[in-house]
């Protein structure tokens, strides 16, 4: 069955450093992959979408890579700030389908 793996343990990093979160998936070939941010008591907020034919995508301090051979996406936040502290959800999805399939998320804590 399809499986999405994110490190469910919290990731603690020092302010100013680059945070790197990993998303691995198995048993399917997503046409695109999304990353969402979720704060406590809130719904997920869309951050970035990368398609299978794109290797890398950037938005301000965010960078996402998508390696379809390794079946892995990496999510980077450069110059991290305490305000970046949140849970980040990976969502690889097959083309043509509307529903979002989420990983369990990785909690990021940026320490001042």
Partner 1 sequence: EAGVTQFPSHSVIEKGQTVTLRCDPISGHDNLYWYRRVMGKEIKFLLHFVKESKQDESGMPNNRFLAERTGGTYSTLKVQPAELEDSGVYFCASSYGQGPYEQYFGPGTRLTVT
40 sits near partner 1 (criterion: CB under 8 A): no
Closest CA to 31 of 4, 52, 12: 52
Please say which residue, 64 or 80, places its beta carbon nearer to partner 1.
Answer: 64
CA–CA dist 99, 42 (Å, integer): 19
Query: 3-state class of 83 per DSSP?
Result: helix
Minimum Å gap between C-beta 85 and partner 1 is 19
Please count the residues of this chain forming the interface with partner 1, following the rule CB under 8 A.
24
Q: Which of 93, 106, 108, 110 binds partner 1 (CB under 8 A)?
A: 93
């Amino acid at each position: 069955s399809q499986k999405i793996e994110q490190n469910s343990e919290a990731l603690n990093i020092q302010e100013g450093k680059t945070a790197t979160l990993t998303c691995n998936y198995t048993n399917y070939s997503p046409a695109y992959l999304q990353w969402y941010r979720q704060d406590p008591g809130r719904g997920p907020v869309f951050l970035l979408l990368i398609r299978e034919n794109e290797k890398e995508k950037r938005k301000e301090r965010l960078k996402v890579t998508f390696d379809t051979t390794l079946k892995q996406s990496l999510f980077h936040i450069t110059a991290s700030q305490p305000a970046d502290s949140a849970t980040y959800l990976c969502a690889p999805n097959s083309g043509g389908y509307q529903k979002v399939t989420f990983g369990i998320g990785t909690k990021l804590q940026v320490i001042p």
